[in-house]
Amino acid sequence: MTHLSSDFIEKYTKLLAAEAPAFFETFNEEAVSAFRVNPLKESQQIFPDKIPNMDWSYYGKVSGKSPEHVTGLVYSQEPAAQLVGQVAKPQKGMKVLDLAAAPGGKSTHLLSYLENTGILVSNEISSKRSKILVENIERFGARNVLVTNETANRLAQVFPAYFDMIVLDAPCSGEGMFRKDPSAMDYWDSDYPTKCATLQREILESAMHMLAAGGYLVYSTCTWSPEENEEIVSWLLENYDVELVSIEKINGMVEGLTYPQTARMYPHRFKGEGQFVAKFRFNGDPISKRVKSGRSNLTKEQSQLWQAFAKENLKVNFTGLLQVFGDQLYLLSDGLPDLSKVRIARNGLHLGVFKKKRFEPSYALGLTLTSKEVLRRIDISEKDFVDYATGNTLSVSKELPKGWYQVAIKGNGLGFAKVVSGTLKNNFPKGLRFH
């Protein structure tokens, strides 16, 4: 335990009293690995080692090169972090904001509950991390997501009193991640939690401006520090018309230090890393607002090209707004405000690209569609999957008509590819190919 600072040991010896030795002993153990299964995917699998009382959750590791990962059927996320999405549990049709979303664990979990209804705005202030977030959202195959790359303050100017639920897994001192990411210990000192709490209050001020009356705020951190947890809860209760919603304590979760409605996860009690979660209901007055809906900006030729592709290849009629950005076609959720002043990392579901006299479907479209929504599909074997993900073409029946087909592995989409004279051309994104 020499890697823990003396200030940290002193702090949690006082806080945990008789439980402190068991708590400190967990830092000599390995971090717990787990994953969630994506209920939006058409073809499901049975996995061993289900986590009790948790939706879609299993202990274990997932290979980044497995068909299950590449098609978005599974998402790696440790158990304590999974509890944030489960506590949030948005209802279908809600407008939801994930305010500090990268790499995408909370967002994909929220999308599992929304089931392609409502809207999720998934925000990440770091442009580098927002690219990873987009990749994970895309793989998950949801259709109702806008990914923004903004400060909370800028978002608050565009989305006043807009969201039915806001989830903030706040930037924090990261104590709960020490086992999983030992480098997090290097920047911890006794003053660090207080500095983090100042930033958390700033972000929450913007979040409260975006919450609709009757809406929910789920606040979480991956730390045990009271300065960033219970003291933030006290500040919210004192400054805003909010009430705590009691969280069910499962799998070894314990009550917060001063608020029994909140939940803490310690690794000596809960099989996972460290987390704190609080859920609030906002009872304040709504800010008057008007949301102007956008209009499709496709040219007549672009509209004809998209309709021709859809008629030849799809059985689904998308609801939402078709918008072109450059030569890229996106499907946006209905009911979004004017986004012209927002930095956007992903406008919505990327449908494809307009080229000279033709439309080419995107990888994302092929990931999201089920067999019932496409007219032509080719299921490939696991051996062919490795060849295809490496960038090779595949041989198929010469009797197959020329054109676009959804490629699938184990029943789930893997993008679109073109069949020409018995060859399945490779359309797997170059940046994702196996080496």
pTM of the model: 0.96
Annotated binding site: 100-106, 124, 169
Tokens of 253: 């979760």
Domain residue spans of the chain: 6-282, 376-435
Rounded Cα–Cα distance for residues 107 and 94 (Å): 14
Give residue-wise pLDDT tens across range 175-213.
999 999 888 888 899 999 999 999 999 999 999 999 999
Query: Collapsing DSSP states into helix, strand and coil, what is residue 6?
Result: helix
Give residue-wise pLDDT tens across range 294-319.
778 999 999 999 999 999 999 999 98
- pLDDT, position 336: 92
**Beta-strand relationship, 263-265 and 275-282:** antiparallel
Q: What architecture (CATH level 2) is domain 376-435?
A: Roll (2.30)
Residue type for position 362: S
Element spanning 59, H or E: strand 57-59
Give residue-wise pLDDT tens across range 362-395.
999 999 999 999 999 999 999 999 999 999 999 9
Single out the catalytic residue among 222, 247, 369, 380.
222
* Whether residue 3 has pLDDT greater than 90: no
Rounded Cα–Cα distance for residues 268 and 20 (Å): 9
- pLDDT, position 83: 97
Percent of the chain at pLDDT > 70 equals 97
The residue among 95, 256, 104 whose CA lies nearest residue 166 is: 95
**Beta-strand relationship, 423-424 and 412-420:** antiparallel
Annotated binding site for S-adenosyl-L-methionine: 100-106, 124, 169
Question: CATH number of the domain at 6-282, out of 3.20.20.80, 3.40.50.150, 1.20.1440.230, 3.40.50.2000?
Answer: 3.40.50.150
Cβ atoms of 114 and 90 closer than 8 Å:
yes
* Whether residue 81 has pLDDT greater than 60: yes
Read off the pLDDT band of 15 (50, 70, 90).
very high
Concerning whether 172 is annotated as a catalytic residue, the answer is no
Give residue-wise pLDDT tens across range 28-55.
999 999 999 999 999 999 999 999 999 9
Q: Is the dihedral of CA 408, 363, 349, 149 positive or negative?
A: positive
